[in-house]
Amino acid sequence: MNETIITTSKIRRNILKTENSKVLIIDDSEDILFLVKNILSLESFLAVPVNSAIKALEIIDNTFDAIILDLMMPEMNGIEFLKIFRGKKEFSHIPVIVLTAKLNTEEEIAKIFEIGANDYVTKPFLKSEFTARIKVHVGLKKSTEDLYRTNKMLKRKYKDLQKAIKREETLNEKILERTVELKDANEKIEELNKALEYSATHDALTGILNRGAILAFLENDIRRSKRIKTSLSLLMIDIDFFKKINDTYGHLVGDSILKQLCNLIRDSIREIDLFGRYGGEEFIIILPDTNVEQAKILTSRLLTRIREHNFLTNKINLKITISIGLTEYILDESIDLIIERADMALYEAKQSGRDCMKIH
């Protein structure tokens, strides 16, 4: 068939090759505008800085592939801008990444998603994580646009087939050929949908579950444990002195360490366990049907394996350790409470010298 059909490899190209993608940066700080513009320009984005949300509404159009938005601004803040912007249907496909100094609670995070944000990054941010997030959202936008064009093509072919049948001018061979083409296109659209779903639920850098996906799985497992009265344990993991690694060796080495660590952890846990990136160098492991005593055995084994592993990157051989907070689900407690207890246990592990596990 003449028209181009979208494949999974094309989706990857959309995500990885975002040169000349146009990104609008909205922030009242000239320093932040300058910093973000430089970071994006180095990644071959076309960065357009603007120092107020009001000005942004005046220049925004469908040529932009993403918007980076500060929340705290005079005259019109980021929340007000989002409400107006998301009210315009013609811009519904443009992703908005919120840039904010701090989000204190899950309620604050939920609020920015409810009013139309696609993602958020807290200041100060890691350059590698920041650019990876922008690339993923720009790539998903382009893939969605490809899907829309493919659907239009399929509708056109379907109408052509109907007309041909009505005119009785189409030979059996041509009907069969068009039917095969439509079947092939539908299969490729199914591939696209699967790839889009994967991109929406997995961390772009490490390939493990992202924050939204791992928290959704945790909610499901909490409901399951409550319903069938089974144990559930949660691990909160943090890499010890990771900032020092980035400062000493650079973010490329830091990214390599993150990927190697995730592969090592993934190989160390059971098939029923769920592993995701909670943010930065923090990770979550969900242990279904596992009480705290059983979880202690797995945790001890994990600490030892990582402590003894050699992380090789750019001909540099590094040793790292992790700290772990362990907690077990208590009947009827909320997801916020079990995460808070795991986080408190992690804090205690850090205060106890790191490279250890604490239970809360």
Q: What share of the chain is helix, strand, coil (3-state, %, to 5)?
A: 55, 20, 30
Q: Is 206 within the bounds of a domain?
A: no
Residue 183 shares a structural domain with residue 215: no
Q: Is residue 321 helix, strand or coil? A: coil
pLDDT in tens, 299-346: 999 999 999 999 998 888 999 999 999 999 998 899 999 999 999 999
Asked which of 2-16, 44-58, 143-157 is least confident by mean pLDDT, the reply is: 2-16
Residue 4 lies in a domain: yes
What's the DSSP call for residue 100? Answer: E
Q: What CATH number is associated with residue 327?
A: 3.30.70.270
The mean predicted confidence, pLDDT, of the chain is 87
- Strand 22-26 and strand 66-70: the pairing is parallel
Which pLDDT score, from 0 to 100, does residue 225 have? 94
Q: Are 307 and 321 in contact (CB under 8 A)?
A: yes
Judge if pTM exceeds 0.85.
no
Q: Is the pLDDT of residue 14 over 90?
A: no
Indicate the residue among 200, 222, 249 that finishes a domain. Answer: 200
For residue 140, the model assigns a pLDDT of 86
Same-domain pairing of 22 and 117: yes
Residue 235 tokens, joined: 């691990």
pLDDT of residue 1: 42
What value does the mean pLDDT take over residues 130-145? 86
Domain assignment present for residue 317? The answer is yes
Q: Which of 36-40, 193-197, 250-254 has the lowest mean pLDDT?
A: 193-197
Percent of the chain with pLDDT over 70: 90
Number of domains in the chain: 2
Q: Which of 30, 168, 281, 328 is catalytic?
A: 281
The average pLDDT across 197-201 equals 82
Q: Count of H helices and E strands in the chain?
A: 12, 12
Are 261 and 320 spatial neighbours (Cβ–Cβ below 8 Å)? yes
Mean pLDDT calculated for residue range 131-146: 85
Sorting pLDDT into bands at 50, 70 and 90, what band is 17? Answer: low
Give the residue numbers spanning the domain of 84. 1-200
Pick from 179, 200, 221: which residue ends a domain? 200
Same domain? 176 vs 250:
no
- What integer pLDDT is reported at residue 251 of this predicted model? 86
Same domain, 8 and 88: yes
If one counts every other C-beta atom within 10 angstroms of the C-beta of residue 78, the result is 23
CATH number of the domain enclosing 105: 3.40.50.2300
Is residue 70 scored above 70 in pLDDT? yes
Q: Any catalytic annotation for residue 281?
A: yes
Does the pLDDT value for residue 159 go beyond 90? no
291 plus 318 within the same structural domain: yes
Q: How many beta carbons lie within 10 A of that of residue 163, not counting itself? A: 11
pLDDT at 90 over 50: yes
Which of 174, 200, 226 delimits the end of a domain? 200
